[in-house]
Structure 1
Amino acid sequence: MNVMADDPEEGMLSWDESVFRDEHVFEIDYVPEAFRHRESQMETLKYALRPAVRGSRPLNVVVRGPPGTGKTTAIQKVFAELDHQPGVRAVRVNCQVDSTRYAVFSRIFEELFEYEPPSSGISFKKLFGQVADSLVDNEEVLVVALDDVNYLFYEGEASDTLYSLLRAHEAHPGTKIGVIVVSSDLDLDVIDDLDGRVQSVFRPEEAYFPVYDVTEIADILQDRIDAGFQDGAVPTTVTDRVAELTAETGDLRVGIDLLRRAGLNAERRASRTVERQDVEDAFDDAKHVHLSRNLRALTDTERTLVKVVAEHGDERAGDVYDAFHERTDLGYTRYTEIVNKLDTLGIIEAEYEQLEGRGRSRRLRLAHDEDAVRDHL
């Protein structure tokens, strides 16, 4: 069949076509080839880790900055380079998943030995001993990145975990371990919130990752578009709009997710190009990326509290506790800890108010649209 030049099918995708060249480019775990606008932070990390390549204990580092500013990618980039260096083992621990000292060391054990420690539960001391012995026997230096270390603080496990890592050489002479802690919680003062016994040995270098500005965002998104979309599928005006919306949230991941969703919207219309309307439609979904990521990482008990707050919106903490206690049987101290954690994560807002003659009380409410929270729960 001859396709006429003015055939409306021209701008349409056929069944086996896609606007994407490689959709994986828009996944959360994709590590980009070019890593822009983070040169000085990468230098700090490399400077701190250089001694490890020479067989010495590396410097410790605190990496801080809001979510979606490139912290994890920086670690992944540097660790990929370290993997080719003999005598260095680099292990990244996601503390959202492994939020206790035992879990952190189990993850390190698994990386070193390439199998999981026995699930029947060996004592921490034994687990720790096997990790240290392996490093000494193989003459290896260990670099551990505690990504999202704020979760260790929420669980009260941060000081013990760091103490064991940083003082390993006292119990096991010859052990060389350096630690990078990565925090997205700007209210958390990583160093001040650690025990004195840990502070004295920690003394880290600092690498701060600020929010990207709109031109930096546009640069980075353009790299992703070039790698992930077919040529010409995303006009510059559309990229600029995505960069604007991303800058409003301050989180690059929102922009990357937005591009993927806008591409899927274009495909739904069977269009070869992404239009601005595809972006606007997708933004309503994409801005909840953060929310769903945080909700996914919660325990069942913490989720229960989110549900209770949703049902008892804008009520006093005491009244919310009564409803929560009925369902979980937990005491007030644990309740307060969970409230503080959910408040820090930006899932709920806990605001103090003055009560007449009764001191202060907190009002609890959801920090997001109630329907969005229910959907993602």
Structure 2
Amino acid sequence: MDGDPDEGMLSWDESVFRNEHVFEIDYVPETFKHRESQTQSLTYALRPAVRGSRPLNVMVRGPPGTGKTTAIQKLFDEVGAQTGDIRTIRVNCQVNSTRYSVFSRLFEGTFDYEPPSSGISFKKLFGQIAEKLVEQDRVLVVALDDVNYLFYENEASDTLYSLLRAHEEYPGAKIGVVVVSSDPTLEVIDELDSRVQSVFRPEDVYFPVYDQPEIVDILDERVRRGFNDGVISRETLEYVAELTAESGDLRVGIDLLRRAGLTAEMRASRVVEREDVENAYEKSKYVSLSQSLSGLSDTERALIEVIATNDGEQAGAVYDAFREETDLGYTRYSEIVNKLDQLGLIEADYAEIDGRGRSRSLTLAYEKEAVLDRLE
């Protein structure tokens, strides 16, 4: 009926979404735009594996939210669909940040079940993986996603050394490595031991930040697949892209679309308005913070909380408060401080202290409330 006040309103069983999963961070899009040259470089590196040879190693670099994981996942899916002679395994190093846990994931990917939780040495774990590859005459391609976390835990060199030297201890083992770093300050090659540098000569594939027209194009594809027709206007979409470009992280835009849609539904509206985007942005802009915090251990999260309540204090004073909660020594405390600094969660700046020389002051890199809210 013309003029019906409820015409633009959702009923209780309706949604603005056609497929909400399209806006999940781990969704792999059917069409992958504006990364053609990077995809070609990765394909080139893996091509020898299709012929049964060891592939070229690759170093993939770029800020968060620039398509690195998606590119690798799509390539691995394509390889898996073409041949059964190549085993591709992506390891999330944010979750698996030690050599043993990385190889536990490789064991699981090789045998399709998890290794025993205890009682098996690294040497035996590694040996079973390598022997299985030789027995099946399969090539293994390992993607160490967010490899920067292995560096934060001083586990990168040992992990890469084991993978790159596998063929020496187990003749016939063919393993290629793709290392993926989201830390623009990390010089991967320079930080590796000389014994690893001598054998690790990777192809370098860089993923730059998307520019605004590219962001509009990518988000428009998500809108068409994820929302019902007419839910978001072009003007609103371009506003979302503008906010995304400011952050430099495509994940912000994807999360922002989903939250703006949910905000519109809360109003029972059939369309997403600019105000919905503005309200949703207060949470979406912290996507990177949430991702970083989710990978921290209980001890590391405890230190974040201590720094939040002692923001701007000298490292020694923060340690005293931290030790009261955890009983950990200063060496481990210093290691965690360095990791949190490398992750961009805190700022550890050196300053001259009267009569005491140089000392670090520790401050949060984000608003205190935003950090504490996401620690709960």
Q: Same fold (TM over 0.5)?
A: yes
**2:249 equivalent to 1:251:** yes
Among residues 59, 63, 66, which one is paired with 1:66 in the alignment? 63
Distance in 1 (CA, whole Å) between partners of 2:38 and 2:172 is 30
CA distance in 2, matches of 1:136, 1:287: 47
Q: CA deviation at 1:298?
A: 0.5
What secondary structure, in the 3-state scheme, does the structure 2 residue paired with 1:240 have? Answer: helix
Could you tell me how far apart the structure 2 residues matched to 1:304 and 1:163 are? Answer: 32
Letter of the structure 2 residue corresponding to residue 183 of structure 1: S
Query: 2:75 corresponds to which letter in structure 1?
Result: V
1:36 counterpart = 2:33? yes
Cα distance between partner residues in 1 of 2:321 and 2:335: 16
Structure 1 residue 359 displacement after superposition? 2.4
Q: Distance in 1 between matches of 2:292 and 2:118?
A: 30
1:8 pairs, out of 1, 5, 22, with 5
Question: 1: CA distance between counterparts of 2:96 and 2:303?
Answer: 22
Tell me the CA shift for residue 357 of structure 1.
Answer: 4.3
2:74 to 70, 77, 91: 77
Task: Indicate the residue corresponding to 1:347 in structure 2.
Answer: 345
Q: Please, which of 103, 106, 113 is the counterpart of residue 108 of structure 1? A: 106
- TM-score norm. by structure 1 comes to 0.98
Greater mean deviation of Cα atoms: 339-348 or 258-267: 339-348
Write out aligned runs for 1:145-160 (5 A).
Answer: 145-160=143-158
1:27 equivalent to 2:27? Answer no
1:46 aligned residue (23, 43, 46): 43
Write the distance in 1 (CA, Å) between the matches of 2:370 and 2:220: 30
Amino acid at match of 1:24: H
Q: How many residues align?
A: 374
> Do 2:152 and 2:342's aligned partners in 1 also have CA atoms closer than 8 Å?
no
User: Which residue is equivalent to 1:17?
Assistant: 14
Hey, what does 1:269 align to over in structure 2? Answer: 267
Question: What is residue 127 of structure 1 aligned with on the other side?
Answer: 125
Q: Report how far residue 371 of structure 1 moved.
A: 1.2
Letter in 2 for 1:113: F
CA distance in 2, matches of 1:86, 1:31: 22
Residue 238 of structure 1 aligns to a residue whose secondary structure is helix
**Range moving further from structure 2, 146-155 or 287-296:** 287-296
Question: 1:120: Cα distance to partner?
Answer: 2.4
**For the Cα contact (< 8 Å) 2:164–2:200, is it kept in 1?**
yes
Letter in 2 for 1:241: Y
Match of 1:98?
96
Q: In structure 2, the residue corresponding to 1:285 is in which secondary structure?
A: helix
Alpha-carbon distance in structure 2 between the residues aligned to 1:51 and 1:291: 38
Q: Displacement, 1:119?
A: 1.6
Distance (Å, rounded) in 1 between the aligned partners of 2:344 and 2:160: 26
Cα distance in 1 between the residues matched to 2:215 and 2:54: 36
Shift in Å, 1:256: 0.2
The residue aligned with 1:302 is 300
TM-score if structure 2 supplies the norm length?
A: 0.98
Letter in 1 for 2:130: A
Tell me the alpha carbon deviations over residues 38-78 of structure 1, each in whole angstroms, 9 at most, x when there is no partner: 01110110000000000000000000000000000001010
Match of 1:126, SS state, is: helix
The separation in 2 between residues aligned to 1:340 and 1:238, in whole angstroms, is 41
Give the alignment of 1:165-244 within 5 angstroms: 165-244=163-242
Task: Report the CA distance between 1:356 and its aligned residue.
Answer: 3.1
**1:256-335 equivalent positions in 2, closer than 5 A:** 256-335=254-333
Other-structure match for 2:139: 141
C-alpha separation in 2, matches of 1:20 and 1:103: 38
Alpha-carbon distance in structure 1 between the residues aligned to 2:132 and 2:106: 11
Runs of 4 or more off by more than 3 Å in structure 1? none
Cα distance in 1 for residues equivalent to 2:115 and 2:353: 53
Partner SS for 1:30: coil
How much has 1:117 moved relative to structure 2? 0.8
RMSD: 0.9
Amino acid at match of 1:10: E
Opposite residue 316 of structure 1, the aligned amino acid is Q
Pairwise CA distance, 1:292:
1.6
Q: Kindly, what percent of the aligned residue pairs are identical?
A: 71
* Distance (whole Å) between structure 2 residues aligned to residue 120 and residue 46 of structure 1: 38
Measure, in 2, the Cα distance between the counterparts of 1:357 and 1:82. 62
Q: Matched residues in 2 for 1:250 and 1:163: separation?
A: 33
Structure 1 residue runs of 5 or longer lacking an equivalent are none
